[in-house]
């Protein structure tokens, strides 16, 4: 019989505030990560600090927020009222301490639990705060959540406000980095949602005149069938249009300024109300999917004392605009019914364009019906969970933080998939094996997803046929050889996702796995190198007599070694979309038939790796 640990008084521990956060960081910031994903914990820390400054702006104090990110240090400066000087230390180091419990002062904020700034403090190796108000200031400096210096009140000529500087702890987040595109996207959302706010990010000025209408226009990267419709009323602001080329819905939804990437009750209310209003206007019982296909929406709502489904606040669970008041469903429904119906009557050209789009979607859906049925039968026969997909266990429990770590590796060939399969963490990592090169699907209709076996099975494995909300893996990682064929497969897979499931890329779920090109070792040490510079540095460190191995394929890396590259120190390159790189134009250039232009581009940008020649 297994030996049982003794359970006694000595087994009981009481953790102080910072220990509790540091021992269970995932409870407070979700997925830790190294910064390669926009939902990694380091961005949650940044958000928690900025949210406090935004709340000051919303209350009418301070129109400018300054954000500086240099290497791994972040500084946020606002010009709000400043924290009451006698409570500066308490507000950043005592759980359940803050002003937001008083709904008269902070009626519609995001952070009502008194945790945010404390979590940033506890999870930072260095943290400092300065509050300035009424001509005086107070500073406090912390290390790993412990107070090491606290100033007395000092006279100052600085403008009032709060300055916070922090460095996320590498012992918790690993060798992280802030990706500029993710930070900039986060800050742009703040100015879109708060008209009149200026954010200075590393000296760059971010400002919006037209709210979430500007957000939608900045993020739309394909032609639309009618101009953006913008509705603003009380606590609801919404902008929407239909894409002329994309298939899936696309939502940018927010609650009190918080980006609810997983939606929630407000997003469900909009969908339901939009479908009902369209049906009533045209007096036709259209299929809901025909109405929502290609719909692009920016949605912002303000809710008193919002309830979210996790500490990271990515999905709204509240049913009411305010406790005991109007339901969110009724509130959104009444505004949309009145304002959208009026808009369509006043703008018949928009109404005609929308009707044509719905009828076209209906036609395409009916044409795909039989193909989908056959495709699903093929998935069933292929027994996907045994043949093509080696799944992970995370889907069979309710551990939210572990689901955020769930990863699907898409790889080529049996040898490479075999190594990854043996080396992976079976709890959170799954493997999908490709058979040969995927089809170049640029310019093809969505029926190719169902007719092509590889695409059909991959779509089923990811569970994204109907909506990205059902995505089974938070991280989708393309793992191919670092040679010409491997890079070609990467490009074909990225084309597939951009053509049919662009939200997978837009929402930061798609990555490229970096694997080492070289192993440099002597009798005392082994170093894995991911580029030529690392190889040279390793030789300088280990000496010229060190043994060098060049990995030419994933299948050449043993499972024991592979485990080092897909574990805690995994290196992932996020596939990032920018609006200026419109999807249709980009795919046309790289995957279309403009061979001379592309050939000239390759020649102009060609770099030789002598070890690969």
- The DSSP H or E segment spanning 365 is helix 348-382
- Tens digit of pLDDT for each residue in 166-204? 999 999 998 899 999 999 999 999 999 998 999 999 989
DSSP code string of 17-40 = HHHHHHHSTHHHHS----SSSTTS
Which helix (H) or strand (E) segment holds residue 243: the answer is: none
Mean pLDDT of 240-245: 88
**pLDDT surpasses 80 at 599:** no
Mean pLDDT, residues 58-68:
92
Q: Residue ranges per domain, the chain? A: 17-206, 212-365, 383-515+552-605, 518-550
At residue 434, the pLDDT reads 87
DSSP 103-132: TTTSSS-S--SS-HHHHHHHTEEEEEEEEE
Alpha helices in 438-557 (DSSP H): 447-451, 453-462, 484-500, 502-506, 532-542
Q: What is the pLDDT of residue 113?
A: 45
Arithmetic mean of pLDDT, 71-84 = 93
Average pLDDT, the chain: 83
Instruction: Determine the pLDDT at residue 17.
Output: 67
Q: Is 244 exposed, middle or buried (0-12, 13-18, 19+ CB in 10 A)?
A: middle
Read off the tokens for 192. Answer: 């879109």
408 pLDDT above the threshold of 60: yes
Name, in order, each residue with C-beta under 8 angstroms of 167's C-beta and a sequence gap of 6 or more: 72, 73, 74, 124, 125, 126, 127
> What confidence tier does 239 reach under pLDDT thresholds 50, 70, 90?
very high
Q: What is the 3-state secondary structure (H, E, C) of 334-349?
A: HHHHHHHHHHHHHCHH
Residue 398: Cβ within 10 Å count: 6
- Report which secondary-structure segment, H or E, holds 512: strand 510-513
pLDDT in tens, 534-581: 888 899 888 878 899 888 778 778 888 888 888 877 888 888 876 545
More confident residue, 259 or 374: 259
Per DSSP, the three-state class of 503 is helix
CATH (residue range 383-515+552-605): 3.40.50.670
Predicted confidence band of residue 393 (pLDDT cuts 50, 70, 90): confident
Residues 471-497 have pLDDT tens digits of: 889 899 999 887 778 888 888 999 898
In the predicted structure, residue 612 carries a pLDDT above the cut 60:
no
Confidence class for position 613, pLDDT limits 50, 70, 90:
very low
Give the pairing of strands 250-255 and 295-301.
Answer: parallel
Reduce the DSSP state of residue 84 to 3 states and report it.
coil
Q: Is 272 helix (H, G, I), strand (E, B) or coil?
A: helix
Question: Are 22 and 497 a contacting pair, CB within 8 Å?
Answer: no
Does the pLDDT value for residue 24 go beyond 90? no
Question: Which tens digits make up the pLDDT trace of 435-454?
Answer: 878 888 877 778 888 888 88
CATH annotation of 17-206: 3.30.565.10
Tell me, what's the pLDDT at 476?
94
* Model confidence at 384: pLDDT above 70: no
Helix (H, G, I), strand (E, B) or coil at 296: strand
Phi-psi region of 249 (alpha: psi -120 to 50; beta: other; left: phi over 0): beta
Q: What is the pTM of this model?
A: 0.76
pLDDT for 610: 40
Q: What does the pLDDT read at residue 437?
A: 84
Read off the pLDDT of each residue in 388-413 and give the average, rounded to a whole number: 76
Task: Please determine, for residue 279, whether its predicted confidence score (pLDDT) is greater than 90.
Answer: yes
Tell me, yes or no, if the two domains 17-206 and 383-515+552-605 fold the same way.
no
Tell me what pLDDT residue 112 has.
41
Q: What is the reported pLDDT for 464?
A: 85
Taking residues 307-330, report their average pLDDT.
Answer: 82
State the SS3 of 371-414.
HHHHHHHHHHHHCCCCCCEECCCHHHCCCHHHHHCCEEEEEECH
Alpha helix stretches (DSSP H) within 114-247 = 116-122, 170-173, 180-193, 212-219
**Alpha carbons 613 and 607: distance in angstroms, whole number:** 11
Residue 221's pLDDT is 73
What is the CATH code for 212-365?
3.30.230.10
């Amino acid at each position: 019989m297994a030996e049982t640990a003794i359970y006694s008084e000595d087994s009981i521990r009481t953790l102080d505030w910072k220990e509790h956060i540091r021992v269970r960081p995932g409870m407070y910031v979700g997925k830790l990560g190294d910064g390669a994903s926009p939902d990694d914990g380091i961005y949650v820390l940044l958000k928690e600090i900025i949210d406090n400054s935004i709340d000051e702006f919303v209350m009418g104090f301070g129109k400018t927020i300054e954000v500086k990110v240099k290497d791994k240090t972040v500084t946020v400066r606002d010009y709000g009222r400043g924290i009451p000087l006698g409570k500066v230390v308490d507000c950043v180091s005592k759980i359940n301490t803050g002003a937001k419990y008083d709904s008269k002062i902070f009626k519609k904020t995001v952070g009502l639990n008194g945790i945010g700034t404390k979590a940033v403090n506890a999870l930072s190796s260095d943290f400092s705060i300065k509050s300035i108000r009424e001509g005086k200031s107070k500073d406090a400096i912390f290390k790993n959540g412990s107070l090491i210096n606290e100033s007395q009140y000092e006279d100052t000529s600085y403008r009032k406000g709060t300055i916070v500087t922090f460095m996320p702890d590498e012992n918790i987040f690993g060798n992280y980095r802030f990706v500029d595109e993710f930070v900039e996207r986060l800050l742009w959302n703040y100015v879109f949602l708060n008209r009149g706010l200026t954010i200075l990010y590393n000296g760059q000025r971010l400002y919006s005149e037209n709210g979430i209408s500007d957000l939608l226009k900045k993020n739309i990267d394909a032609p639309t069938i009618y101009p953006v419709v913008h509705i603003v009323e009380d606590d609801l602001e919404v902008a929407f249009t239909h894409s002329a080329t994309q298939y899936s819905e696309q939502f940018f939804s927010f609650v009190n300024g918080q980006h609810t990437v997983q939606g929630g009750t407000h997003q469900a209310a909009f969908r339901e109300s939009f479908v009902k209003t369209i049906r009533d206007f045209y007096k036709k019982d259209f299929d809901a999917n025909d109405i929502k296909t290609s719909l692009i929406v920016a949605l912002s709502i303000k809710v008193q004392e919002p309830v979210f489904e996790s500490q990271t606040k990515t999905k709204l669970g509240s049913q009411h605009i305010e406790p005991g008041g109007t339901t969110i469903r009724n509130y959104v429904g009444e505004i949309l019914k009145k304002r959208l119906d009026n808009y369509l009557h006043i703008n018949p050209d928009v109404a005609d364009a929308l009707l044509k789009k719905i009828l076209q979607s209906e036609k395409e859906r009916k044409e795909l019906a039989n193909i989908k049925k056959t495709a699903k039968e093929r998935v069933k026969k292929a027994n996907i969970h045994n043949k093509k997909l080696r799944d992970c266990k995370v889907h069979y429990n309710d551990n939210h933080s572990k689901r955020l770590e769930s990863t699907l590796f898409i790889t080529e060939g049996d040898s490479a998939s075999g190594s990854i399969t043996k080396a992976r963490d079976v709890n959170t990592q799954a493997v999908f094996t490709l058979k040969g090169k995927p089809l170049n699907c640029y310019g093809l209709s969505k029926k190719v997803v169902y007719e092509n076996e590889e695409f059909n099975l991959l779509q089923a494995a990811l569970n994204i046929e109907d909506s990205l909300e059902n995505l089974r893996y938070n991280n989708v990682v393309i793992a191919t050889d670092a040679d010409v064929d491997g890079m070609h497969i990467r490009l074909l897979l990225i084309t597939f996702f951009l053509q049919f499931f662009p939200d997978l890329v837009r929402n930061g779920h798609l990555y490229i796995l970096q694997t080492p090109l070289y192993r440099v070792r002597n009798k005392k040490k082994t170093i894995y190198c991911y580029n030529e510079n690392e190889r040279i540095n390793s030789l300088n460190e280990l000496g010229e007599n060190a043994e060098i191995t060049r990995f030419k394929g994933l299948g050449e890396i043993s499972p024991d070694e592979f485990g080092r590259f897909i574990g805690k120190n995994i290196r992932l390159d996020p596939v990032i979309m920018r609006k200026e790189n419109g999807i249709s134009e980009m795919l046309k250039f790289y995957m279309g038939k403009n061979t001379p232009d592309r050939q000239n581009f390759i020649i102009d940008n060609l770099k030789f790796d002598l070890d690969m020649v």
